[in-house]
Amino acid sequence: MFIQVICLLQAERLPRYRRSHWDPKMDREDGISYQHKRLPREAVEAMTWEELKAQPIKEYCPKNEMQKLEEMFWNLKMIEAEHQAYTNRFHELSCLLPNMVPSEAKKVDRYIWGLTPQIRGMVTSAEPTTPEKAILLAANLTDEMIRMGALTKKQAGEKRKMMEFQGKKANNDARKDYGTAKNFVMATTKRKPYNGQLPKCNKCNYHHHGNCNVCNKCKKYGHT
């Protein structure tokens, strides 16, 4: 578990300025960095287990990063039928932030709180005593809700279609707005009264001498 915590800190929540100076050659296969050997061996051996666990957090997660994680954990919720994704993220954050779930009871309560409303009440009524029991019950209820059609899993294709639909709708709305604005301008534009001496043509309603000129583009009279 401790190795997993370090791996998470290195790979996922590692701040950019730390990651930019990271040297992969300094890493062991288990994810623990040789850079931690800057401490004398005697100092490491004299550490308590709690002090040792605090070292990677101190190294890779400054206070502002930890606050972001705490906010993320506080707002973590299960979306639709994505039970596995929610559970995995819950494990990661509870491992990184044990102070937010200091006991088994607190962990159970926090896990149930983030479940989707369709199953949250049933899991609460069952009063699971351990996180494992709560997770297993939530998984079974999620599967049952999927079979009943009360919950659905969004596939990648569905998300892509929705994005395409939204994009087309936005383009259509933009065209409608442009057409409306154009019609408005045309309707509100008033022709200035003619104050010249040329006679008005009964054919094109413009003032000129001789025959009406034909437009080379639209083949209509009166505007050339």
Q: What is the pLDDT of residues 173-195, one digit of tens each?
A: 555 655 555 565 455 445 567 67
Residue labelled with tokens 């001498």 = 209
Cβ–Cβ < 8 Å for 112, 88 = no
Over residues 49-75, mean pLDDT: 82
Per-residue confidence (pLDDT) for residue 87, from 0 to 100: 96
Over residues 100-114, mean pLDDT: 96
Whole-model pTM?
A: 0.51
Residue 167 pLDDT level (bands cut at 50, 70, 90): low
Query: Residue 164, Cβ neighbours under 10 Å: how many?
Result: 10
Per-residue confidence (pLDDT) for residue 17, from 0 to 100: 40
Going from N- to C-terminal start, the domains of the chain cover 64-148, 199-223
Task: Name the burial class of residue 131, with classes exposed (0-12), middle (13-18) and buried (19+) by CB atoms within 10 angstroms of its CB.
Answer: buried
pLDDT in tens, 122-156: 999 999 999 999 999 999 999 999 999 988 876 64
Over residues 43-69, mean pLDDT: 79
pLDDT at 117 over 90: yes
Alpha helices, DSSP H only, in 23-103?
Answer: 41-46, 49-60, 63-74, 83-96
Report which residue type is found at 56. Answer: P
**Considering only 118-127, 152-161, 210-219, which range has the smallest mean pLDDT?**
152-161
Q: Name the average pLDDT for the chain.
A: 74
Cα atoms in the Cβ-side hemisphere of radius 13 Å centred on 142: 21
CA–CA separation, 208 and 204 (whole Å): 10
CA–CA separation, 60 and 27 (whole Å): 14
Per-residue confidence (pLDDT) for residue 186, from 0 to 100: 56
Residues pairing with 221 in the sheet: 214
Per-residue confidence (pLDDT) for residue 132, from 0 to 100: 96
Residue 21 pLDDT level (bands cut at 50, 70, 90): very low
Q: Tell me the CA distances in angstroms from 197 to 193, 207, 209, 210, one per residue in order.
A: 12, 8, 10, 14
Residue 217 pLDDT level (bands cut at 50, 70, 90): low
Residue 159 pLDDT level (bands cut at 50, 70, 90): very low
**Rg of the chain on CA atoms, in Å:** 35
Residue labelled with tokens 């294709």 = 157
